[in-house]
A and B are shown apart, each in its own frame.
Chain A
Amino acid sequence: MQDGPNLPLLCPGKVVPSPRVSKDADPRRFGFETRMVHAGHIPDAVTGARAVPIYQTTSFVFDDTEQAAQLFELKQYGNIYSRISNPTTAVLEERLASLEGATGGLATASGMAAQLVTFLALLQPGDEIVASSQLYGGSITQLVHTLRKFSIGVRFVDPSNLGEWEAAITPKVKALYGETIGNPRGAVLDIARVAALASANGMPLIVDSTMATPALCRPIEHGATIVVHSATKFIGGHGTALGGVLLDSGKFDFSRYPSIAAPSPAYHDLRFYDTFGHYGFLMKARAETLRDTGACLSPFNAFLLIQGLETLSLRMERQSASALQVARFLEGHPAVAWVAYAGLPSHPDHSLAARYLPKGAGAVFSFGLKAASGEEGRAAGRKFIEALQLFSHLANIGDVRSLVIHPASTTHQQLTDEELAKGGVSPELIRLSIGLENVEDLLWDLEQALPAP
Chain B
Amino acid sequence: MGPGTGAACAITLNSALTPEQQRIYQDPLVIQRLIRDTRTVAIVGLSSDPQRASWFVASYLKKEGYRIIPVNPKADRILGEKAYRDLAAIPGAVDMVDVFRPAAECLEIARQAVAIKAKSLWLQLKLVNIEAAEYAAKSGLTVVLDRCVKMEHARYFGRLHWAGMNTEIISARKARLA
Contacts and interface: CB of A to CB of B under 8 A. Distances in A.
A4 B65 contact: yes
B162 A29 contact: no
A75 B7 CA distance: 26
Contact of A77 (B4, B13, B163, B176): B163
A73 to B, nearest CB: 8
A16 interface: yes
B9 A28 contact: yes
B94 to A, nearest CB: 14
B64 A6 contact: yes
Contacts, number: 221
A275 B5 contact: no
A90 B177 contact: no
Interface string A268-286: 1111001111110011001
A15 B157 contact: yes
Contacts of B167: 94
A4 B35 CA distance: 11
Nearest to A42: B4
A411 to B, nearest CB: 30
Interface residues on A, range: 35 or more
B66 interface: yes
Interface stretch (B55-63, B103-111, B115-123, B132-140): B55-63
B126 A277 contact: yes
Interface string B16-46: 0000000000001100100110110000000
**Interface class of chain B by DSSP:** loop
Nearest to B67: A1
B9 A98 contact: no
A185 B176 CA distance: 51
B91 interface: no
A148 interface: no
Contacts of A15: 1-3, 157-158, 175-178
5 A-B pairs with least C-beta separation? A15-B2, A93-B164, A104-B165, A77-B159, A97-B166
Given A13-B159, A17-B156, A21-B8, 17 more contacts: A8-B157, A13-B157, A15-B176, A16-B177, A17-B7, A17-B175, A18-B173, A21-B5, A29-B9, A42-B175, A70-B59, A77-B159, A77-B160, A77-B163, A94-B164, A274-B52, A277-B148
Interface of B: 1-14, 28-29, 32, 35-36, 38-39, 50-53, 56, 59-60, 63-67, 125-126, 148, 151, 154, 156-178
